[in-house]
Structure 1
Amino acid sequence: MKTIPFSNPDITEKDIESVADVIRSGWLTHGNYSKLLEDLFCQYTGAKFATTVSNCTAGLHLSCLAAGFSNNDEVIVPAQTHVATAHAIEYTGAKPIFVDVNSVSGNLQIELIHSKISEKTKGIIPVHMAGYPCDMKGIKKICKDYNLTLIEDCAHSIGSIFNNTHVGNFGKAGCFSFYPTKQITTGEGGVVVSNDKKFIKKVQTLKAFGIDTPPNLRKKPGLYDVKELGYNYRMTDFQAALGVGQIKRYHQNLKKRKRNAKIYSSILHKNQNILFPKFINDCSYFLFQILVSENVNRDLVMLELIKKKIGVSIHYATPVPYMTYYKQKYGFRKNQYKNAEYFGMKNISLPVHSNLKQADIEYVCFNLQKILENAV
């Protein structure tokens, strides 16, 4: 029986050799590969500045701190996302204000944002679900009208474009993830981009304990000052070495992902038991997400796919406000976020990575449609 893995990193022998070179050098952090990865990421996204971080959650936390979010502030986020988006706000003492999502794309419902804005609102963090870009024109206008800080959660979105601009460039910062299942991976890791020099400097200082002078700029080794309470959110240089080759090749990776998504769309678009957002060339397709119809048990479909050795996942099963921590702290109840709840019950993430062949996708679709026939 054929095996279709859910994800398959684009890592070559040359990438592995680069990692080994860094380890052999003995210079494992603050190295040349970190700077190179940052420069390459700026080139790819069009952002002026970038800084590597230990993970995307750290990047979001640092961005929230640099934005000045603190006690009694409120920040708007989608109800359907990874908990990291809300956690980053909680870490600062601010409160995440959840907004329901589009029932098909999983992205923020723009028309619901206004009703959630109060005197305490200080920012919005949209999430580009599965790489499908949010309506950044609408969100940016709201931020401008209400003087709110915009931070983009781009964990799914390397290569996603809105109106000819790479996501992450619409506000103060964009935070990207290099988790193992993502389009580019460094094991754990991430990067923050910004077009605001003062903002990125604040992020860079906070990610390294609040130290005012990085090692390469010190007049004497070990001589520095700490001017604010920072964190240890740095990426190692051997992690950066793993990412450099991948970002250099990413245009090929992205091209294959879009090709794969297009094949899924062409095969599945007539199936009455499946919904998914229309194929667009501006999506980076971290995932190919589908929603099964009302009369189909999503979990049973997934179990049958797994039996066929087809890797699948859910992004995400439980809306964040229904997670125990948030439910107990803020008293959220079922049916407050109906679309997010429905999305969580019905979505399936199908493999779309660059190592898939057309025959693999046809195999997934054939089995999926057969399972759906029997499930109705």
Structure 2
Amino acid sequence: MLKYEFKIMFSKHMNRILLAVLLLLAFVFSFLAIWSVNYVDANGNTHNGFGSTRQLNECKAKYEGTLTSEVIKDVIAKDRKVTRKYENAVPDRVYAKGAQEYGDIKDLCVSILCYDKDFDEAELDRLDMNGAERIYDIRDRNIGREIKEYGNTHAKARFLKKQFSKIATPFEYSPADSWKKMGLYATTYALSVLMIISFFAAGIFSQEFDLQADAIFFSTKLGRSKGTKTKIVAGLIMATVIYWSAMLLLSLISFGVMGVSGAHSPIQMEYSYCMYSYTFVQRYLVILLSGYVGSILAAVVAMLVSARFHSAVLALCFPFVLFIVSPFIGRVLPFHDFFNVTPDQLLNVYNCIRLPLLYQFGGVVVMQIPLIIVVYTMITMIIIPFIHKVFNRWQAS
């Protein structure tokens, strides 16, 4: 019966077209990520595309290792010398041998200095050299301010202190441009995968009614029991196979070309005040896992609506509202705390990870990302039995 469900599912012309589109999008997003990285050679020529990320990583590898205060002071001194000489018109050849090599470290320093301000490189010019040596002290002081802002209870403040204590300083640096780019593109691609999975799932329970074969299905010996269970299992397997195959293809193409340098660098190199003690590879895996939970949730919601109303179009509307419309609604309504834990946040980990959002239940404090992953995994498991019950209730009536 499972084989039969898959045969029907993948024999539909539209479903095959959508799989082809998904395959095409994997290449499109991969190449967009690859071409978004620029490298300037010693002659001042700019390159992007194949090889540019690896060349850029080789260039930045000069500073790979522990970012001690001495290293940071040296970088700031070099950058200040170039800025004073060329102001805002730094030649490409000079940039290639200077700011391009230490750009990540410079950005880290600026982000530390701009804790409660917009990113402004001028802040670095205002910093004296003694301040350059104390850059980690400045960060620690601002972390104290962050704990006061977001730790509005004793338990939350204690939790934040513990979280930040897990992040070792000085940071271990390795150029991680491929991971930075892929965090964004994997998030965008995962949303496309989710909607295509929802389309597949929306037709699983409505197809008998579309073909007017529902009477035959329910009159068979195992239609109401094994037949219904098989449809649910087929939907879950379909969502799992499509999601992980698509994300694996995207990852293999992108990282195969760009490389995996910086996988074990802390994400604080990108978000200096992030409370999550993740490396870049760990953040990427969390993005993939969260996207998978979202895809499974979208699939079971689509199957539930399809089983209840026997309409694939209506079933597809629910995941669309939950994951695409909901973020826009959340931006205009004054219920930010609520919209920080809605299902669309499963596809927004790349941005969620920047803020130290905490939730307290009694004496237990949890972070936003683990909370939404666990909660929506549980909700998915709760919905599954209801699909079976709702589908069979129609037969009983």
TM over 0.5: no
- Bigger radius of gyration: 2
Which of the two has greater strand per residue?
1
Which of the two has greater helix per residue?
2
> When the two structures are superposed, what TM-score results if normalisation uses the length of structure 1?
0.24
Kindly indicate whether structure 1 or structure 2 has the higher relative contact order, using CA contacts under 8 Å at least 6 residues apart: 1
